[in-house]
Structure 1
Amino acid sequence: MEFLRSIFSHPWLPHVLAVSGFVFAVFLIARLFAEKKQPSNTVAWLLVIVLIPYVGVPLYLMFGGRKLRRLMARKSRLVLVHGGLDLVRVSPSVSQVINTTNALGASPPVGGNALRLITTGEEAFALMEENIRHARHSIHITTFILGRDDTGRRLVELLAERARAGVKVRLLLDAVGCVFSSRGFVDPIRRAGGEVQRFMPVFSLVPRRSANLRNHRKIAVFDQHTAIVGGHNLAEEYMGPLYNKKRWSDFGAVVAGPAAVLLNEVFLADWAFASGKPLEALHNEEAEAGEPVRVEGDSALQVVASGPDAKGDPLYEGLIAMIQDARESIYVITPYFIPDEVLWRSLMVKARAGVRVVLVLPERSNHPITDYARRFYTRELRGAGARVMHYGAGMLHSKAVIVDERVGLIGSANFDLRSLLVNFEIGVFVYSRADVRKMGAWVATLLASSTELKQDRPRRFPFFSGLLEDLCRLLAPLL
């Protein structure tokens, strides 16, 4: 004790601590710039680290990583193998999007699919239940949120029932999104012989985990042939057997055919990482239980996974390519609208050039800070000629983009920096005009329940409201 007391009372200790703190701060700032984040993201972290270091430094160490080299060395790069799938030639009018995503390692489009849109939570639950009940070989589900509610309990019961019947059930839960439902709540599945894994636990003995890298993908694949993809989490807010007026408006699709095989590949890569089981062994199991890929329709679809396991940012750059190639119209449906400079300026240029740019956003989302952060972007876009529609029939959680009735995008990603540049996300580009028109018809139903925002609402305290808006916009890239 006397030795420790002498050290802590030594006059040079404050100097050593100051120098050490400075060196550590320089190291963190150098690492921050080396990660090649978006400028707004870098500035936000820099301010937090410099102005409130006792908070900013530990937060950055826990949440700041984007594409961590050591982590990704353990999680193999996501490469979707086509193995006999029908690669389809699509219209040259969408070649810019396809070339962009393919250059970043995304899967080329495949034909022979059937696509069915899911526009209500009741329909989503019914289709999930139906496919779980009729699965013969395997059920693979990954979700960001599994609710500890009636919807979550019912799905756990169904999965346990199918596991007892000998179906291979695998449930992959994000460790943050399912923090309250990834342990004892899903024990019925484990006891029935099914498997449950948690994706990247925040507190783990494995080094170089990051709480920042979340699996936001929502994928359910049945018998390697039929898949459900979109924005629906497995909770009462998103789906359920009965109508609930408080349920959020969400969007997704059922995919049957070759594209479902590729969605299954995404699941297997994530499962191999979370479970530690070799991907080759999983593929061998699939080959033993699987059936030949069947042609189910004439939809041309492209499966694009984005995240730290992808080369570059294919979903983000594919979205930029969609917008920049627009000739007549751009519809963006999203719950949270926090674009980066490139996406925002691309929309601004298109609106000024006479392209019909329409944003459909919730009047009030479940995250007020993002509502404040979006005000600047929507105000500038309105000034450029874009229309901003506020959906008034509850919370809008749908995510979709439609360009010119030529190409659509369905998936899990929001129109914000976290989804497009940090999270593990999944998207399906739709290249069949008949399917894109069906997406347009769904958007028309949203517009019927929306009002156009002509100008910002009057503020009681303009100075403080403006200050709050600027602060939220500054911090939004960290959310």
Structure 2
Amino acid sequence: MIKIHGIILHFLPSLGFILAVILLAHILRQRRSPTSTLAWLLTIIFIPYIGVPFYLMFGGRKMKRKVAEKILVKDPSIGRAFQAEQINPLAAPSALKGPPQAVDMNRVSVFSDGEKAYWATLDLIRSARQSVCVATFILGQDDTGKAIVAALTEKAKEGISVFLLLDALGSVSVRKRFLAPLIKAGGRTAFFMPMLHLPFRGRANLRNHRKMVIADGKSAIVGGMNLADEYMGLGTTPKRWQDLSMLINGPVCTQIYGIFLSDWLFASGKDSERPVALGLRTEDRPDVLFQVMASGPDVKEDALRDMIVTALFHAESRIWIVTPYFVPDELLLDALCLAAKRGIDLRVVIPKKSNHVLADLAREGYLSQLQECGASVFLYLPGMLHAKAIIMDDRVAITGSANMDMRSLLLNYELALFIYHREVIIQLKDWMQQLMDNCIERSQHKNQTISLIEGVGRLFAPLL
């Protein structure tokens, strides 16, 4: 026994060294930002017994096979497709690989109130005639979550095809008994990317952060709201977060449905169980022009981040950003700083204190650099601000599930909407102004010790 123990003690360090060398080579071959590469290298070199297993579980970024197998769903029967830059010089250019064409003839309702979003979600589920598709990062086992599951269960009992896709990390506390009534009624459920699985491929860090509720493939609610009391529900409560979602009717929902279908088939592994979309057939011709962008490990390159950066360089007068977390990569930060130096009215609205302490610590250095370049930073006082939105020059707005941080833009599965409709953009601008009316401006500091702490935080920000 002692001899075997000695062999193990001799073998494990050698195995750890070999794994560390292999992983270092793998990291250097990947297309990561310099700060992300350096952070992982330092972690593996100086604390290999922590760095090696963490990288095996959390270090992945792109899934080439899923990119190649990505399902594209198109419905050319209604709505006109545009190369978006033909409509708007700030639009996401078609030269960037990944973004689909912009589509018009859509109708949209904006919800910044959790109760209105709650009723709209239930109404959308109840309106379904053939299929209901729901994807969320967090499903609460609270009043809101129970109401959503109950509504889905009723549709399943009616013979409607119901599909519920939950992220395995965000909804880790959800147990089968909570979903049992839905499953018994014929509803289908799946968990996206289990945290622990063999073989380790670094995918535990790649979370599905997309939020979608789709009825019959023709109407959808998307945005930043999870299905839990903090985000939406009956009445108003001081604990409810400020968030944003949109109800969309129109041909662009076909693209949103296609993203859900791709995620569902990947998570469930059951090609025979796929939702059916009725498609839009209506004489109503609303005129909101949308462009849908999915980003994440299943999308080639970092299209959403690149689209935002491209639009930033074309902005002429205004860039307003609302985000719960602000931990950008160097390319995005440089684009924002250059915009501020060009005299653009650059404003960032974030919660004074978010629900993630480490993200709050990591953001400070980035915010200080923005302010030094001439940007204004507003700290939201009433509570947690979870909404995500950007407007530029009253000509384009971007909203969806993605935060302004490296995790959302470079790692997670996200869904973004580019909106090219002046009335909707003005509505979002007025909402942002209301947020700023409930903010204080962040004060700049000149303390060297604080600057040092901020610098250290930025070094390890890519690991968050």
| TM-score, scaled to structure 1 | 0.91
Cα distance between partner residues in 1 of 2:140 and 2:206? 21
Aligned partner letter, 2:267: A
Instruction: Return the match for 2:365 from 367, 376, 389.
Output: 376
| Residue 310 (structure 1) aligned with residue 299 (structure 2) | yes
SS of the equivalent of 1:211 reads: helix
Asked whether the equivalents of residues 112 and 243 of structure 2 are also in contact (C-alpha less than 8 Å), the reply is: yes
Instruction: Return the match for 2:387 from 375, 398, 403.
Output: 398
Instruction: Return the match for 2:42 from 31, 44, 47.
Output: 47
SS of the equivalent of 1:443 reads: helix
**Structure 1 unmatched ranges of 5 or more:** none
| Residue 36 (structure 1) aligned with residue 25 (structure 2) | no
Partner of 2:100: 107
Cα distance between partner residues in 2 of 1:420 and 1:22? 32
Aligned partner letter, 1:374: R
Asked whether the equivalents of residues 79 and 106 of structure 1 are also in contact (C-alpha less than 8 Å), the reply is: no
Partner of 2:120: 127
Offset, 1:80: 4.3
Partner of 1:469: 454
Residues 129-144 of structure 1 correspond to what in structure 2 (within 5 A)? 129-144=122-137
Change (3 A) 1:191 1:371: same
Instruction: Return the match for 1:232 from 210, 217, 225.
Output: 225
Offset, 1:448: 1.2
| Residue 151 (structure 1) aligned with residue 144 (structure 2) | yes
Asked whether the equivalents of residues 94 and 406 of structure 1 are also in contact (C-alpha less than 8 Å), the reply is: yes
Asked whether the equivalents of residues 112 and 257 of structure 1 are also in contact (C-alpha less than 8 Å), the reply is: yes
Offset, 1:436: 1.1
Offset, 1:21: 3.3
Q: Summarize deviations over 1:103-127 as a string: whole Å, max 9, x none.
A: 3122100010001111111111011
Change (3 A) 1:474 1:160: same
Residues 15-30 of structure 1 correspond to what in structure 2 (within 5 A)? 18-30=13-25
Offset, 1:334: 0.3
Q: Summarize deviations over 1:265-286 as a string: whole Å, max 9, x none.
A: 110110111111228x73xx62
Residues 57-456 of structure 1 correspond to what in structure 2 (within 5 A)? 57-69=52-64, 72=66, 76-89=69-82, 92=86, 94-95=88-89, 97-100=91-94, 103-204=96-197, 208=201, 210-278=203-271, 282=274, 286=276, 290=279, 292=281, 295-456=284-445
Asked whether the equivalents of residues 16 and 52 of structure 2 are also in contact (C-alpha less than 8 Å), the reply is: no
Offset, 1:295: 4.9
Q: Summarize deviations over 1:354-374 as a string: whole Å, max 9, x none.
A: 111000111111112111211
Change (3 A) 1:17 1:268: closer
Cα distance between partner residues in 2 of 1:80 and 1:104? 17
Asked whether the equivalents of residues 104 and 289 of structure 2 are also in contact (C-alpha less than 8 Å), the reply is: yes
Offset, 1:454: 3.1
SS of the equivalent of 2:235 reads: coil
Q: Summarize deviations over 1:6-61 as a string: whole Å, max 9, x none.
A: 45547x974x6555433321111111122211211111111111121111111111
Asked whether the equivalents of residues 56 and 200 of structure 2 are also in contact (C-alpha less than 8 Å), the reply is: no
Cα distance between partner residues in 2 of 1:18 and 1:132? 55
Asked whether the equivalents of residues 296 and 412 of structure 2 are also in contact (C-alpha less than 8 Å), the reply is: yes
Asked whether the equivalents of residues 394 and 425 of structure 2 are also in contact (C-alpha less than 8 Å), the reply is: yes
Aligned partner letter, 2:62: K
Offset, 1:76: 2.1
Cα distance between partner residues in 1 of 2:252 and 2:387? 21
SS of the equivalent of 1:94 reads: coil
Cα distance between partner residues in 1 of 2:71 and 2:307? 17
Asked whether the equivalents of residues 146 and 178 of structure 1 are also in contact (C-alpha less than 8 Å), the reply is: yes
SS of the equivalent of 2:93 reads: helix
Instruction: Name whichever of 377-386 and 168-177 sits farther off.
Output: 377-386
Asked whether the equivalents of residues 258 and 293 of structure 1 are also in contact (C-alpha less than 8 Å), the reply is: no
Asked whether the equivalents of residues 322 and 388 of structure 2 are also in contact (C-alpha less than 8 Å), the reply is: yes
**Structure 2 unmatched ranges of 5 or more:** none
Offset, 1:88: 3.9
Instruction: Name whichever of 258-267 and 39-48 sits farther off.
Output: 39-48
SS of the equivalent of 2:258 reads: helix
Change (3 A) 1:472 1:449: same
Offset, 1:467: 5.1
Instruction: Name whichever of 41-50 and 354-363 sits farther off.
Output: 41-50
Cα distance between partner residues in 1 of 2:381 and 2:364? 17
Q: Summarize deviations over 1:162-192 as a string: whole Å, max 9, x none.
A: 1111211111000010001153211111011
SS of the equivalent of 1:33 reads: helix
Asked whether the equivalents of residues 142 and 218 of structure 1 are also in contact (C-alpha less than 8 Å), the reply is: yes
Asked whether the equivalents of residues 327 and 405 of structure 2 are also in contact (C-alpha less than 8 Å), the reply is: yes
Cα distance between partner residues in 2 of 1:91 and 1:63? 37
Change (3 A) 1:384 1:93: farther
SS of the equivalent of 2:126 reads: helix
Aligned partner letter, 1:221: I
Q: Summarize deviations over 1:333-387 as a string: whole Å, max 9, x none.
A: 1000011111111111111111110001111111121112111111121111111
Asked whether the equivalents of residues 90 and 315 of structure 2 are also in contact (C-alpha less than 8 Å), the reply is: no
Q: Summarize deviations over 1:245-293 as a string: whole Å, max 9, x none.
A: 11110011111001111111110110111111228x73xx626x55536
Offset, 1:69: 3.7
Cα distance between partner residues in 2 of 1:106 and 1:343? 18
Offset, 1:98: 2.7
Change (3 A) 1:477 1:207: closer
Give the aligned length: 463
Identity of counterpart residues, as a percentage?
40
Offset, 1:77: 2.0
